[in-house]
Structure 1
């Protein structure tokens, strides 16, 4: 099974070396996980789906780049998967930038160890692998840093909000002083206190307005146990009946039973399908669902005009609207909603788009999201039924 972020199931354009590389994906991930838990501070206590993150798809992206006939230049090109990795690391782990860099270094070591004597990787192949890991590290760290900067700003905003109470006390005290008879100095001092108090309150209000991030809180989710293949089938049937006779819908789903919010996932996929209908070329739209290493990979793919690479991250911003090809009334709130759903499940969403591969939006979340959703029942202990 090809798990690259473009979600092409047939391995189109893959070389023999690439197929051998994909066959070793689990071996590389097993070694990487052991080494990271042993050597990276804070990794030992992470649940396996959190530790795995977006890396299986990244390894398959590298495999595509190793194929001369495939359009992917390196494993991080055309996709926001490394950014999603950094985003999850910032939100869901105690990692710092050093730990994120270290885990990518260990990934290269794991690739070198597991491929030695099994795949004939030449200098050109290793140049692509190194370029892939270096680019992914940069993108992951860039997003990781941005997320932590946002968190620091939110803390500053919260502190500013808390400081309003003592300011109110100062304001009230100044008014009391101003009422004291025959105390000219006290009145003049009180006047200055009032002026500065009012100024500070205005500054704090401006600061709060500037630092408030809409949609930052996790979405409330109602988790149930279901097979995602049933959801994919329902959506293909729903859209196949009303999307237009020129658009064909394909379902490519394994049976994956897990704990998610069915309504939220359904609405997310509907948003992605609606975008695929609007921005695609009117051909086939494929909804796919597969699982690996405790993660569900749920995607919507369409062919047509690609999203320019410099816009990949921005389309997930709240109320961001693109003015590019076939923009119409823009992406609106649909993609930020999809990101909020993925984030709230303990996962992420990424986009992979290019002129030769089409556009794939990939929701990558834990199969069992209960440990990552506030108020959800905890998974049963080993030996008990879930």
Structure 2
């Protein structure tokens, strides 16, 4: 058994190369992955198998759960990774392990080190890995669906609240311009609600590696952001101010998604900032990019939390992150939309400065049309 373990460890590269070649021939989804991404946790699983071989005493001993702790951890991570990889299915994950089993068996037979004990270990370890990877893949996809639906449902509150507010304050005796403005706000908010409902229906059928659908068009993005500002100054008790260095910003954007992003940031700025302090929206045209900043005064966000905030979808459903979770529902969307526009998100939060989120978006990195923007499910 020791010889078999040594052979596996000393020939790990050969085994993984052989496995990768066969997987790329037999599993369509593998063609979308780099070599590093495809192998993922499987070299660790290979090392785990060698270690279990060294510990093997008898059949009763190998059936104990604790013998598989390393395999379980690595196979769970493998399944999670595949949930974020485009076009993977449970069947294809199981086939990866079947190929893995065949490659190992063939290799050890060629080296005259395949015995009944070796066969037992390969059977038990790889069955354990298959079950845990498949469960993890399924659970991760369900987790992704639930959190995406939660994000969309969370964002649905804003336009519905705005529409309710418009209906509540509208009065036929109002000045005509004021009446028309409030009516337009209510109608636009209801249209936004319908768009979000369509997103929720789409999220129910999300597949591995998929995220939200973005619809790019050539538009004046400043108009979308001004709409958020006009709505916010009507709805919130905080003073909301708007500054820009230009009158128009033309580019290829998903206006609805960016509007949602700014709405999220403004809502959080009001919710977590000081109630009597100003919330400021600043938009700058910077040649190939547009920068959007939302600033509020209030308790600063610690550096540790800043590093976690955009990774909400990494967290287990059972984890309780309190305030971090409330921020993260929207911030997952913020980072996803920024990346889809070939941009980034930055945060500055200090005691005497307050908190500012800055989103930089490339104005012309996309062509008009629809794309699937991957969610920030795995830390990268």
**TM-score (structure 2 length as normaliser):** 0.45
Indicate the structure with greater helix content.
Answer: 2
